[in-house]
Amino acid sequence: MRCYLHAFLLCVVFTFFSLLYVFSQLASTLEDRGEWGGVDDGTPGRSAQDTGHVLRKTPSLAGLGDREPGLDRCKSLSVSYWKPYWRLPADVCGVNCFLESSLSDRSGSVAKEHHDERSHLAVVACGPRLEETLTMLKSALLFSQKPLHFYIFAEDELHESFRDALELWPRTFQAKFTFTIYPITFPKKNAEEWKKLFKPCASQRLFLPLILKEVDSLLYVDTDILFLQPVENIWALLSRFNTSHLAAMAPEHEEPRIGWYNRFARHPYYGKTGINSGVMLMNMTKIRQKFFKNDMTAFPLTWEEILMPLLQKYKLNITWGDQDLLNIIFYHNPESLFVFPCQWNYRPDHCIYGSNCQQAEEEGVFILHGNRGVYHNDKQPAFRAVYEAIKKYPFGENMETSLLQPLEASLQTTTNTYCGRVSHLFTKKLKQSISSVHQEKMMDITSK
């Protein structure tokens, strides 16, 4: 009996200190936020038609007294953190110092989603990811018929390279998109820990709803994504969200026997095999408004309140970084996730041991995800062939002869691999996309 009593007392003490720790984390979060309580969030600036810039914001009240008269740029471009959970002060790069597309004939306001026909696409690039990211953006642009806005989060040393590359693209293609380049920003506390979680800067995606407060909805993709159909097609899935849905992702695996989460995870995860966050469609307004159930407190927490305590609790048990944290969040809030089929996030796992994505077999691959570096090694030559074909395609050339035919020839050499044997799935939707682009061009010529 005495042993049971001791065990009970130990459990009580452990529970007490666990709750104490969680409340201390929450108190720290609220205290940090309180320091910025007097800062005005600013209001969305004028449209690109008025200013020649996109996403220009009125300076917030804080810091204005310290500014030099007439100073319209910030102190330094080098910023690697931000105060949780707020945007950067007005005199620091991040609010008024983003590198922006400069074409003044582009109209529309990022803040007014209801009148904005653009699809909003975000990516995070750190390290040697410039070329890969540009190829992803190129694929998004080639097949989309509606305008796009790119939110590019990158290390400081990549900013000018991105801007120079994008502004070298032909003017006819530049007319189809706008872009904004942001610094990598993490909460000041544990900034290095967040930055190095899984891959450099990958966890930046967790903070997009808190940084891009004026953006209603957003499609986040990894740098190793290739669009094989118009971006507006996945953007249209937002209309299929019910009142509870606030994000959409694909399952991590279709086949439980080769699944990672169901075999190895040491933390909660969504569904039977977890979710993959390489393609993540978000209604960020709903994310900011939602109170999330969790296993740390008896009451729900907002997105800005839950991230730091979640990392502290599970950082020794997670392998895939921010993706694991998302799995934990949606394990406790499954009603909030819209799950789209695997052809929207097609990875080597879907064909490496034989084809296991039924939707891709029926309709083709919509979005190709070359994770594990397969675009840059010889492990999955079929994936690499698609990447090389899009990267080398010259803007404005006939896509049938300059993209599709060279790609099909390359894929013929990959049939010694499982993925190569189903490579017709890679071109099935691509052929339709190229045909649609050609038809659109012919209609434009006819109308003129």
Contact at 8 Å (CB) between 179 and 198? no
Count the alpha carbons within 13 Å of 8 in the hemisphere toward its beta carbon: 5
CA–CA gap between residue 380 and residue 205 (Å, rounded): 27
For the beta sheet containing 217-221, the strands, ordered from the edge strand earlier in sequence to the opposite edge, are 99-100, 177-183, 148-154, 119-125, 217-221, 275-283, 247-251, 337-339
Model pTM score: 0.79
Question: Nearest 5°: CA angle at 272, between 267 and 277?
Answer: 70
Query: Rounded to a whole number, what is the largest CA-CA distance in the chain?
Result: 91
Residue with tokens 């899984």, as numbered in its chain = 198
Q: pLDDT truncated to tens, each residue of the chain (448 aa)?
A: 566 666 666 666 666 665 565 556 555 555 445 433 333 333 333 233 333 334 333 333 233 233 333 333 333 343 333 333 334 444 334 433 455 554 434 433 344 444 678 999 999 999 999 999 999 999 999 999 999 999 999 999 999 999 999 999 999 999 999 999 999 998 887 787 887 786 778 899 999 999 999 999 999 999 999 999 999 999 999 999 999 999 999 999 988 888 889 898 899 999 999 999 999 999 999 999 999 999 999 999 999 999 999 998 998 888 888 999 999 999 999 999 999 999 999 999 999 999 999 999 999 999 999 999 999 999 999 999 999 999 999 999 999 999 999 999 999 999 999 999 999 999 999 999 999 998 988 777 777 6
CA–CA gap between residue 101 and residue 299 (Å, rounded): 43
- 302, 219, 411, 383 alpha-carbon torsion, rounded to 10°: -30
Burial label for 140, CB within 10 Å (0-12, 13-18, 19+), is buried
Q: Is 345 left (phi over 0), alpha (psi -120 to 50) or beta?
A: beta
